[in-house]
Structure 1
Amino acid sequence: MEKIVLLHTNDLHSHLENWPKIRRYLDQRKREVTQSGETAITVDLGDFTDRWHPLSEATNGHANVALMNQVGYDAATIGNNEGVGNSKDDLDHLYDQANFDVLLANLYDKKTLQLPKWAKPYKIIETKKGTKVGLIAMTAPFPLTYAPNGWDIRFPMEILAKLARSLRPQVDVLVLMSHLGIEDDHLIANELPMIDVILGSHTHHLFPEGKMVNGVLLAAAGKFGQYIGEVALTLDDQRQIIDREARTIETATLTAFPEDEKEIDGYLEEGHRLLKNKVVADLPYTLHLDPYADHSLIKETLAAVKFRGQTEAAVLNTGLFLTPLPQGIVDQDQLHTTLPHPMHLIRVALKGSDVIRMVLEMEKNRNFLRNFPMIGMGFRGKIFGQIVYDGISYDSVNHKVYWLDQEVQPEKEYTLTTVDHFMFVPFFPTIEIAGQYEFLFPEFIRSVLGNYLHAHYPIV
């Protein structure tokens, strides 16, 4: 008889307020399992890093990897926050100092069509009793955002079926580290029952006691480090699994040490300190949140967005902006505080008739979105807010749309710039359905604004 314990974390999203408890639990549990003669395997399933946290932003995620090194994970994979929340060069060097293997089988370099140098397609861990545990990892495919960043992201079933079938004869236990989401995990369990366990993430689902699907155990531990996942596998002397159990441990129930708060606060303080040291511009006046103010932050950002996209028009929403930018020296910390979203810009070309339809969609949803609580898809604010145009106007009396004060011509082509969020939310379908769009990498919107302010209000 043999027992193998899989300890898994996922979707921490830089919620470091839970990290001291998680680190202690994993360390203690690994020692307990090892001392009892059993095998512990510890993995992270991606989205450990999220650049909403100032320390993650200031260090390009390297501080997060240093924290992961404290645990000594056996393997980790990436989520979309690591995959598209970093430039290609940043991701290529994110794990330079990692003391764990990064597994990822469905991401390729667009130029070489090879896996990145920092990733392995799988790993086989052999226990002291000779049992071989195979680990495969997959991340959620978002071609629209991976491709412009220099990556070729493959859909999981294009690769997973062949990889699982080739690896299965080499191992006694086959585990999928999935950053694919609950629906894909169910699909894979139904189509590939040779996988024994799927450790799930990405959609932040929680299976407190696991879930059996077609003989495959699905395990999932929620989000933000609120839970830690554990799977216990019991094998007979022929190395066949005779029992499998999953559970989650709620971190709120774990003992907090007096020094935890100081450690957590220290991460924030260090992040803010590093970002404050990176000065950007010297503003002659405060940029206010009020879109109708003489010096409006959203109007300044619209100008920056137009400049980056090299277009005549731009559209943004006021909910993106969380704090004003005060008169005087502006630093990266202030930019990160007001625009914490991991959003890129998109340049969208539309026929005039589609511009009219897009604006009508925006006007139809305007009052609804003004106080709409927006969650997910990269949005780190509270409400969507008010839609604001630059270069576009709408005559609500005559229901006409104007471009640079000229009525939009249905057959003429127009190009505007906005954030990718406008394409991902369901309110403006014309952008994705009728638009010819191009993602502008690698800058986030805060970097676009920062570059514009640096050029127009230089520090003397």
Structure 2
Amino acid sequence: MNDTIHIYHTNDLHSHFESWPRIEKFLAKRKKWHEETGDEMIVVDVGDHIDRSHPFTEGTYGKGNIKLLNEAGYQYAAIGNNEGITLPHNKLDELYINADFKVLAANIYDLNGDRPAWAVPSFIHETKKGMKVGLIGVTAYYQKYYELLEWKITDPFQAIETEIEHLKNKADIIVLLSHLGLYDDERIAEDYPDVDVILGSHTHHVLHEGKEIRNTLVCGAGKYGYYVGHVELNGIGHDMVKKARVYEPRNLEPAQGEEHFAEDLYKAGKNELSTIVAHLPVDLTSEWFEPSDLPRLLCEGLTEWCKADCSFLNSGLILEMLPKGAVTKFDIHRICPHPINPCVAELQGNELKEILLQSKSEEWPELQIKGLGFRGRIMGNMVYDRIEFNGTDIKINGEPLHKDQTYRLAIPDMFTFGHFFPHLQRLENKHYYMPEFLRDILELQICKAGSSADGLF
């Protein structure tokens, strides 16, 4: 059987819509080309298309993104962690209700063990000439976070193995949509030679011509719509010829209306978030390198929300001040767009002291941060609630810190990731509050500030 199959793939758009008109035009043009030559075309997204840091996604809870995928002719999609663990349970359950494409998610279930109605673990795409392409989708194994949102996530490698067994005698080709990251993709290629192609994501890697590992072609198309991936397959089995490349939308033909497209989506999101939540009697300031109102209010709210003994956070979480007058949900989203959750760590006093002294490092304020949910620019000064420093002596709630006492420390969850505070990263006794974001706490604090200026300033 001689069939040529073209697979076009995007991943990790993160609601960066600037290139979307060109991507849509490019895919439409390619569809016409392949129809004229009798070739098969498959279009997939490999997750993290949504990002709630964008007002259009926030205002529609991601359904606007699904509409864009529909309009661009996508046929299959995997889910990423931004779809899976930044949406409340009911919002993820509703996200794909109007999707014109199949959602491939082999390792997510309801808590009762049933697969959600919107997901299938794999699917066989049959070409016009009768070739069968088996497609599998898996997402990152963030077990603790999915459980907090009342989902059950299973080991993706076990899910892949199960679906390969299901497909290998039925499909001519097996393609994996992997939202696991490049390291895991390379491991899959080594361990599961029945997988012909891996379309990767999550770690935002770009493989310009793919990477051959044993029998598998590993691919990745970066992030933010900077690239569109293209895999061409000819033949089956050991005689199959596989080619991969990426296209840069900036080098593609301009699309009609592209200059206003992203701006219009931003305005649409602003309109969705236009509900007034408070009226401020005074301006609320926000500074990154000196004390100011909004970071302090957020820090105080974090302690209260988490029923903690104390808290600290970085002032760079607040991007702008708020002038007196009406405050909308859009205003709160604009100044605190991060998909970051509150977290409580339970620590002994000596552990807490070590972390608090680390937080005073002079390197923090100017540190530029990328990822981990942070959507700002720099760390900014640390802000503390119920914590006092006198050199290396520390008081919590006005009392000297006792090294053998257990304390509840409230922090942004990003402090438990990466390499900011290694002890927090390793600590077992942490609780993440989900689906609440820091901006939900900030909104409550701003509502208090709107009702009374006394005691807050």
Question: Normalization by structure 2: what TM-score?
Answer: 0.95
Return the offset for 1:432. 3.4
CA pair 73-199 structure 1, distance change in 2 beyond 3 A: same
Return the offset for 1:451. 2.4
Equivalent residue letter for 1:425: G
- CA offset digits 1:360-380 (Å, max 9, x no partner): 2222xx211110111111111
Q: 2:285 aligns with which of 278, 284, 288?
A: 288
The residue that corresponds to 2:437 in the other structure is 444
Give the conservation status (yes or no) of the 8 Å contact 1:79–1:202: yes
Map 1:174-189 → 2, pairs under 5 A: 174-189=174-189
Aligned structure 1 segments of 4 or more residues deviating by more than 6 angstroms: 291-294
The residue that corresponds to 1:259 in the other structure is 257
Return the offset for 1:453. 2.3
CA distance in 1, matches of 2:271, 2:124: 42
Give the conservation status (yes or no) of the 8 Å contact 2:209–2:243: yes
- CA offset digits 1:120-165 (Å, max 9, x no partner): 0001011122111000001111223222111222222122123212
* Matching of residue 404 in structure 1 with residue 397 in structure 2: yes
The residue that corresponds to 2:388 in the other structure is 393
SS in 1 for 2:67: helix
The residue that corresponds to 1:36 in the other structure is 37
* Matching of residue 169 in structure 1 with residue 166 in structure 2: no
SS in 2 for 1:457: helix
Return the offset for 1:402. 1.1
SS in 2 for 1:7: strand
Per mean C-alpha deviation after superposition, the further-off stretch among 140-149 and 81-90 is 140-149
CA pair 435-351 structure 1, distance change in 2 beyond 3 A: farther
The residue that corresponds to 2:455 in the other structure is none
* Matching of residue 300 in structure 1 with residue 301 in structure 2: no
SS in 1 for 2:362: helix
- CA offset digits 1:79-117 (Å, max 9, x no partner): 11111111111111011111111010111222x122222
* Matching of residue 208 in structure 1 with residue 208 in structure 2: yes
Return the offset for 1:329. 1.2
The residue that corresponds to 2:309 in the other structure is 312
CA distance in 1, matches of 2:216, 2:425: 37
SS in 2 for 1:163: helix
Per mean C-alpha deviation after superposition, the further-off stretch among 147-156 and 196-205 is 147-156
**Identity rate, percent:** 36
Equivalent residue letter for 2:202: H
Return the offset for 1:320. 0.8
* Matching of residue 233 in structure 1 with residue 233 in structure 2: yes
SS in 1 for 2:137: strand
Aligned residues: 451
Map 1:53-202 → 2, pairs under 5 A: 53-110=54-111, 112-202=112-202
CA pair 208-433 structure 1, distance change in 2 beyond 3 A: closer
SS in 1 for 2:430: strand
CA pair 166-412 structure 1, distance change in 2 beyond 3 A: same
CA distance in 2, matches of 1:201, 1:293: 39
Equivalent residue letter for 1:412: Q
Return the offset for 1:455. 4.4
The residue that corresponds to 1:453 in the other structure is 446
CA pair 328-128 structure 1, distance change in 2 beyond 3 A: same
Return the offset for 1:441. 1.5
CA distance in 2, matches of 1:206, 1:58: 30
Give the conservation status (yes or no) of the 8 Å contact 1:46–1:77: yes
- CA offset digits 1:331-362 (Å, max 9, x no partner): 11111111111000012211112111221222
CA pair 292-229 structure 1, distance change in 2 beyond 3 A: closer
SS in 2 for 1:17: coil
Equivalent residue letter for 1:109: D
Q: 1:427 aligns with which of 420, 439, 443?
A: 420
The residue that corresponds to 1:348 in the other structure is 345
CA distance in 1, matches of 2:113, 2:305: 30
Return the offset for 1:458. 4.2
SS in 1 for 2:19: helix
The residue that corresponds to 2:12 in the other structure is 11
Map 1:362-401 → 2, pairs under 5 A: 362-363=359-360, 366-396=361-391, 399-401=392-394
CA distance in 2, matches of 1:428, 1:401: 18
Gapped regions of structure 1 (runs ≥ 5):
none
Equivalent residue letter for 1:440: Y
SS in 1 for 2:14: coil
CA pair 291-124 structure 1, distance change in 2 beyond 3 A: closer
* Matching of residue 246 in structure 1 with residue 244 in structure 2: yes
Give the conservation status (yes or no) of the 8 Å contact 1:105–1:137: yes
Return the offset for 1:38. 1.1
Per mean C-alpha deviation after superposition, the further-off stretch among 86-95 and 310-319 is 310-319
CA distance in 1, matches of 2:217, 2:292: 57
CA pair 29-344 structure 1, distance change in 2 beyond 3 A: same
Equivalent residue letter for 2:410: T
CA pair 456-113 structure 1, distance change in 2 beyond 3 A: farther
Equivalent residue letter for 1:73: Y
Q: 2:270 aligns with which of 272, 282, 301?
A: 272
SS in 1 for 2:71: helix
Give the conservation status (yes or no) of the 8 Å contact 1:285–1:295: no
Return the offset for 1:456. 4.8
Give the conservation status (yes or no) of the 8 Å contact 2:289–2:380: no
Give the conservation status (yes or no) of the 8 Å contact 2:199–2:219: yes
SS in 2 for 1:51: coil
The residue that corresponds to 2:330 in the other structure is 333
CA distance in 2, matches of 1:216, 1:435: 37
- CA offset digits 1:297-348 (Å, max 9, x no partner): 1111112112211223111101111101111111111111111110000122
Equivalent residue letter for 2:417: F
Q: 1:414 aligns with which of 403, 407, 414?
A: 407
SS in 1 for 2:87: coil
Equivalent residue letter for 1:15: H
CA distance in 2, matches of 1:360, 1:448: 26
Question: Normalization by structure 1: what TM-score?
Answer: 0.94
